[in-house]
Amino acid sequence: LAGETLTIPSASVQVFDAAGRRMLALDETVGQPSVTLTEPGIYTLRTPSSQRRLAVNTDPRESDPTPADETVLARWEAAGQALAAARPAEPLASPSPRDRALPLAPWLLAVLGVLAVLEPLAANLLARGRVLGAAR
C-alpha cells in the first residue's frame, strides 16, 4: 500500500518510481535496506541479474463509496453558507485605464522599424560627407 515501507530484497537494487525516475541508486541501497513508497503506481526494482515490477495501491479504506450521513451533509452545507455570509461581497470592477498593461511587443517592433529605415539613411549621409570631404 502507498505510504508503507518496502524492505529491499537484495544488497544491490535500484528502485524506480512510476514515472521512471530513480528513487534509490545501487550505492544507496547498500546501507539502507528499506524505502518508503509514498505514491501509488508501478515501481521497478532492478538487481544486477533481474528486473521486477511492484504495484503500489492506495488503501481501499480511503475510497469508501458509501454515502455520507444526512446530518454530516447538512452541517457541511451550513458551514459553507455561514462562511459565505461572513465574507462581504465585492463588486467586480473593471480595471482603470491606468492599471491596464500595454503590450510591449508592438512598441518594440515599431522602434525597430524606424531604426531599420534611419540606419541606412544615416550611413549614406555619413558616407557622402566623407566622399565630399576627401574630394575637396
Average pLDDT of span 35-41 = 79
Q: Output 115 or 59, whichever has higher pLDDT.
A: 115
- Residue 62, all three cell numbers: 480511503
Q: Is the pLDDT of residue 76 over 80?
A: yes
Q: Taking a C-beta distance cutoff of 8 angstroms, is the pair 45, 52 a contact?
A: yes
Average pLDDT in the chain: 77
Q: What is the pLDDT of residue 115?
A: 94
What confidence tier does 126 reach under pLDDT thresholds 50, 70, 90? confident
Q: Which is it for strands 51-56 and 22-24: parallel, antiparallel or unpaired?
A: unpaired
Average pLDDT of span 125-131 = 78
pTM above 0.75, yes or no: no
